[in-house]
Structure 1
């Protein structure tokens, strides 16, 4: 709720008032006061009798009056507080709140501290919960109902609510919003008829990424989650997993979405019991004309590399990135593709010639994640792992001299000298590329091997300015997701440096577009107006 609405509400808890009285006490114009009061009426907090406004005589209004006599109502309604309190109707850990709200760790921590200082929330063990106060809890329940109650049909069951709601209704029943989740599978080439219909409200554009995330939210059985995996495979060439992760960020399925990426490749999941056993999933896929095989393990991968390495007509030094690097180090049991980087056009042409001679073909279709990674080319084989071949850069990030110096020998096969990039550099590239499974791979490297955040930050900050500006927002989001999804603690100083760089980049971009409104720039950059003014003074 906006601060002016809260202040008007506080005034009305003391006594009814006319619009001019509200305007005078809040230092607002008459038209601004009308907008504030009309908003409060639409939300059910306030009613109007003749020319006087008063707290509503409905259950919500009565609860506001009751609770405001014991608590500072501002602490309950301001900013993101109400959203967090709604989720605390059930005791939750801070990590769960990060996942459910999509708020930053800093914001959630600040709000929780304020609520505890105000006596509204208490901590018990690792869980945060609303204090034992029947009136307070009743108000928060009413706030939750007020958000969406007018668009939830009597027959509907709400499956998720935050900035939007997803609800299930009896099949064929028309409901507020637009069809989503399993109800849209057929439009995306998956012939599946659910036993109920699913709607999202407010209405929004429905694309494959939205259908995937909403279906995961709606899933209640292993079969339904496995059908989400089938949907992903059928649409894998068009689904942008970076976009899907952004949609999932404010929902409880961020971890499930990451698990799905690994599950479809036969790789370990954090929660494998949520899906069908792999053999049953293979059978399910066959019903939809899909052939799925587990990702190959190290012996098969090395044998495959040996098959084309013997075709090399001169010595080549190549750097192994990503999954193959992790497999050789024992950080991952298998990988679906092999990322290889060479440092010159001549080396690329030599490796390409060997791959084609060994029966590989250039891939005709690339996923959105492939296009972001920007390999020079992708090579596929009917029985061998896919090869993603890079020249000098990965997703515009040049492999630096310090990266090559940290690399160590992985193996030699004929004319191929395969070097392993250091795990610090593999993790950095994973955080900057955002292909399928990249974030979960980065989490595994950090969890199982550990990284030097100092090295990662140094390499990141020495990127060319135009690349840094492009990558900094993704880097910051991925660092926050490491904490929110995987419980990995990123050093506060590292996160602060990356966040400051992201804020500065956002301010610069707005100024370059000609934006001069300080409040607008601060809102877009998610910072304080005073900092925007400081940066504007410093700009030459």
Structure 2
């Protein structure tokens, strides 16, 4: 609202009604005054007769007068402040406010600062901005303005469920025609869930509708109305279509719509664990009745009964001495931290141990899961094999690397408690290592498991930090970003915050700043706009940029009113010869060729390319066979990626058309020079 409009409303509130008197108070010309009166009349604030201007008799003007009697309405409503104010009917982060309003970061921050200065808003411990709820007319006025704004752009019979600049989710009476496409509960029958409501649900957006979005739209609609039966139907839809849905995509969409806590609750509820938003869920027995009605297999939402003799059976039947390490849910069950688990996660050090355990499990009635049946979650964790049994928890086996991220380190082995079962030496991994693994895989139910682990006796957060830091250095991986996201979910659901959270945030922020500027040409404003939000403030970003400049990782360059950020150029003392450059190109081509022949994952191929890059940067390619170097790089990469069971050294040598002895010699050279 412009300052003249606010001044006119204040004058009318104070008793002025004569048009000429009001014109003099505001200090504008007659034609401007007439336009202003017309605009405020169209907004339902005032009405004009021949001799006077007065407030209209409606809820809006009553609320305005109540609010104006307590707060400075000039600061509350001027310019963009009104838009920010009306979007605060629910707690929101600065990032969410910016997305909903389309305003710049600086404008949103300025508006929040002004609203704070008059006591209209406050920030909670999670960094979200809240309206002052102690004065109810303030909230009701914001809600009125928001509803009024939303209805300007939608059909009169539509009810807005969610709206931002890019999307409008709405419900309308059944059969009414509106803009957009069907979503939410309206799509359930198309995916095997017959559920009919008195309304249709529509989404207006420029991007194609994804199945994950349709499900989250249903959850959002049900949670907004605290419709427990609607939440149950959303869970039925999820279980029916689980193979088509990626849990990470669902969490991302839920976070975009600001209901990630509700979605994580749904994941936990389906694992029969306590939930945060208890008011949204029916008793478990009622859910089971509904699941049976829709022919949902019991194993989709109940965990198998524990089989405590599993490792005893393996130890008695395995052909020779074998070492394995237990992590995940079965690890927690053995320690009494959870009653049941969906799977038993084992990690082994080498291909021989992997083959022995798989062969033994198959003798005991287990079968490998067909790859076509793997869920998006299963594909993402990249187990070497997944075996299932008709009546027991399934077994996920990893060879050295878990979920293409976490390696079985010597430190983890030392922390593990060793049990001997016949010929099997089983390491029960420490709670801290299980926590880190769950923080990096973040499968369904892992947030609740992380809470149990963090609250277990003697849990040491420093061990988690040290292991993460060492693994990143040893494996040249950057998975602290994933851990940070997991810790955010953990705090959001349980209030548990890692003591190293701020340090991790700075660690991730440094990496993200580097990623933003690696190609050069980015302004400081660009970087702030891309990274701010939640716990990451503009001040924090500026401080980290200053720190990185001081440490020599980037340089600032002032051009006009903008500050540009560029990565510091690496000083190369030894310039490679043309022959070395040619060797490099041939080695990269060989990596690609070997990867295609062996059907390696994109992750393993890129890891091999990175190894060749590092050898080239260290001037270690000259005088070497490109094929042998490439083959050795691929061998290292598949080991680091946990895919060694799929491609042996002999198979790699055959694909590269070299002698295995040459591969092994180059493999040892790479390990020594790159300190792997």
Q: Could you say which TM-score interval applies, normalised by the shorter chain?
A: 0.7 to 0.9
1:147 Cα shift? Answer: 4.6
Kindly provide the CA deviation profile for residues 336-391 of structure 1, in whole angstroms up to 9, marking residues without a partner as x: 11111111111111111111222211111222222222211111122221111011
Where do residues 107-506 of structure 1 align in structure 2 (5 Å cutoff)? 115-121=115-121, 129-130=131-132, 136-137=138-139, 140-145=142-147, 147-161=149-163, 164-202=167-205, 204-219=207-222, 220-251=226-257, 253-270=259-276, 274-293=280-299, 294-297=302-305, 300-364=306-370, 365-395=373-403, 396-409=405-418, 411-449=419-457, 451-464=459-472, 470-491=478-499, 494-506=500-512
Comparing 464-473 and 336-345, the one that deviates more:
464-473
Partner SS, residue 248 of structure 1: helix
Partner of 2:554: 536
Kindly provide the CA deviation profile for residues 427-486 of structure 1, in whole angstroms up to 9, marking residues without a partner as x: 111111122212221122223446322222222222335967642322222222222222
RMSD: 4.2
1:123 Cα shift? Answer: 9.5
When the two structures are aligned, how many residues end up with a matched partner? 484
**For 2:520 and 2:154, how far apart are their aligned partners in 1?**
43
Kindly provide the CA deviation profile for residues 196-245 of structure 1, in whole angstroms up to 9, marking residues without a partner as x: 21123445432222122222222244332222222111222221111111
Structure with greater contact order relative to length (CA < 8 Å, sep ≥ 6): 1
1:420 Cα shift? Answer: 1.6
1:203–1:303 CA distance, 2 compared to 1 (3 A)? farther
Kindly provide the CA deviation profile for residues 41-81 of structure 1, in whole angstroms up to 9, marking residues without a partner as x: xxxxxxxx89x996942448888999695553489946995
Partner SS, residue 250 of structure 2: helix
Kindly provide the CA deviation profile for residues 271-322 of structure 1, in whole angstroms up to 9, marking residues without a partner as x: 667445445444433444432143134xx33234444443211222221111
**For 1:470 and 1:122, how far apart are their aligned partners in 2?**
35
**For 1:401 and 1:114, how far apart are their aligned partners in 2?**
55
1:82 Cα shift? Answer: 3.4
**For 1:11 and 1:271, how far apart are their aligned partners in 2?**
45
**For 1:256 and 1:301, how far apart are their aligned partners in 2?**
32
CA contact (8 A) 2:330 2:345 kept: yes
1:334 Cα shift? Answer: 0.8
TM-score, length basis structure 2: 0.62
Partner SS, residue 435 of structure 1: coil
1:99 Cα shift? Answer: 13
TM-score, length basis structure 1: 0.76
**For 2:474 and 2:412, how far apart are their aligned partners in 1?**
20
1:334–1:79 CA distance, 2 compared to 1 (3 A)? farther
**For 1:102 and 1:249, how far apart are their aligned partners in 2?**
14
CA contact (8 A) 1:267 1:334 kept: no
CA contact (8 A) 1:60 1:142 kept: no
Structure 2: segments with no counterpart, 5+ residues:
9-30, 47-60, 99-105, 533-537, 556-566, 570-676
| 1:525 correspondence with 2:531 | yes
**For 1:124 and 1:517, how far apart are their aligned partners in 2?**
31
1:263–1:122 CA distance, 2 compared to 1 (3 A)? closer
**For 2:193 and 2:130, how far apart are their aligned partners in 1?**
41
1:14 Cα shift? Answer: 7.4
Partner SS, residue 85 of structure 1: coil
1:522–1:259 CA distance, 2 compared to 1 (3 A)? closer
CA contact (8 A) 2:276 2:494 kept: no
1:153 Cα shift? Answer: 3.3
Partner SS, residue 256 of structure 1: helix
CA contact (8 A) 1:171 1:197 kept: yes
1:75–1:478 CA distance, 2 compared to 1 (3 A)? farther
CA contact (8 A) 2:342 2:393 kept: yes
Partner SS, residue 308 of structure 2: helix
**For 2:139 and 2:279, how far apart are their aligned partners in 1?**
35
CA contact (8 A) 1:156 1:169 kept: yes
CA contact (8 A) 1:10 1:73 kept: no
CA contact (8 A) 2:80 2:111 kept: no
